[in-house]
Each structure stands twice: as structure tokens, then as C-alpha cells.
Amino acid sequence: MYGPVIQGKLVRLRPPKPEDAPVMLTWFENMEVTRFLLLRHPPSIDMEKEWLDRTARNPDEVVWVIEHKGAVVGTTALHLIDWRNGSATTGTVIGDRSMWGKGLGREVMQLRAAYAFTQLPLRKLKSAYIDGNVASARAQAAAGYREIGRHRADMFVDGKWRDHVMTEVLRDDWEKAHRARAGAKRRRTRSV
């Protein structure tokens, strides 16, 4: 399935279109972008179109394209949705390197968690990052994910074996953090 439009402050999540495929390919040509990804080689245009097509038909995932100021800069998703147990595995790529470090990833993960916990009956989001991917670790933490364990020396990056860090965010923790943030915002508004 494709995800519906979700408007944030910095990003707009929207359903992918077939014409997004050529720009999506270019992200996987850049080793800086793929350094901490499992997909390390660019797919062909046919593979990318096929992936978009297959994804649209898959009832167990929700995929969005990430737009910033009208440009397509990345993709994010809830994969492997387990409806019985209420979980999904999340992933994000901001393929446009020039857009890193501007807060887009953090907002994407927050919007996606809000969607999973308020629009879908999910109770847990699982994810992971390769040790050293500081931006991913921090963006996930800002959306409520916590480390729950590691596969040690699991992934080969730049000539070194690195830990694969498993993370998750539970609906209960997300709701508590959400209430705390809303309370802090109300207090700030009252004090101005």
C-alpha cells in the first residue's frame, strides 16, 4: 500500500508515483547514502518500477515518498506489518545528501510513528541502525525508539565489522512522550 499525504513542518509525505523511479535510482549510486544501508547497489529502472508496483499491492506495508519544498528527497515506510501482533518494521532513506542534517529525518520518523499509532492499530515499531550511523540513531531516538539489543560485529562497513543495533518504540511509550510534549507546548504557550 502507499501512504496517504501527511503534511509536516519541513516535509510532506505522499504516495509514490511511477515518475519518481528515476530519481530514486540516483540515491543508490552514492556510497555515502548507502554506507549504512542493507541495499548497497543501485537497482535497474525496471527493478525500481517493479518494486513500486509490488509495494502498492502489498497489504502489509505502507510506503511514502518524502518531499521537501516540492522536491522528492527520500522515502520512508512501515514494512512487514504484522496485523495480528500489531507490529511493523520501519525504514527511511533521505537519498538527497544535500538534505541531511536539517531535521527532515527526525520529522519523518515522528510523523510516521504518529500515523502508525493513531491511524493504524499498531502497538510496536521495530527498526535498527548500523553502529556509527549517528544521524539515524538520533532521529530514531527523537521519535521515541530505544535500543533493545545488538547483533555484535554483524555488518561490514568501510573495512570494519560493526554492531547492528536493534531498536523499537512501543505505543505506550510514544503516547506518554506525546502527552509530555503536548503539555510542555501548552506551558510554553501560556508563559508567552
Ligand X SMILES: CC(C)(COP(=O)(O)OP(=O)(O)OC[C@H]1O[C@@H](n2cnc3c(N)ncnc32)[C@H](O)[C@@H]1OP(=O)(O)O)[C@@H](O)C(=O)NCCC(=O)NCCS
Tell me which residues touch ligand X (CB under 6 A).
33, 36-37, 92-94, 100-106, 129, 133-136, 138-139, 142
- Convert 10-47 to b/e letters by CB count within 10 Å (16 or more is b): bbbbbbbeeebbebbbebbeeeebbebbeeeebeeeee
Taking the C-alpha atoms of residue 78 and residue 113, their distance in angstroms, rounded to an integer, is 9
Q: Nearest distance from residue 121's CB to ligand X, in Å?
A: 25
Q: Nearest distance from residue 3's CB to ligand X, in Å?
A: 16
Q: Nearest distance from residue 72's CB to ligand X, in Å?
A: 13
Q: Nearest distance from residue 151's CB to ligand X, in Å?
A: 14
- Convert 76-112 to b/e letters by CB count within 10 Å (16 or more is b): bbbbebeeeeebbbbbbbbbbeebeeeebbbbbbbbb
Tell me the CA distances in angstroms from 34 to 52, 56, 94, 156, one per residue in order: 19, 24, 10, 12
Taking the C-alpha atoms of residue 74 and residue 13, their distance in angstroms, rounded to an integer, is 10
**For ligand X, the closer CB: 9 or 190:** 9
CB 108 within 8 A of CB 119: no
Which position's Cβ is nearest ligand X?
105
**For ligand X, the closer CB: 39 or 83:** 39
**For ligand X, the closer CB: 17 or 138:** 138
**For ligand X, the closer CB: 53 or 101:** 101
**For ligand X, the closer CB: 46 or 158:** 158
Q: Nearest distance from residue 129's CB to ligand X, in Å?
A: 4
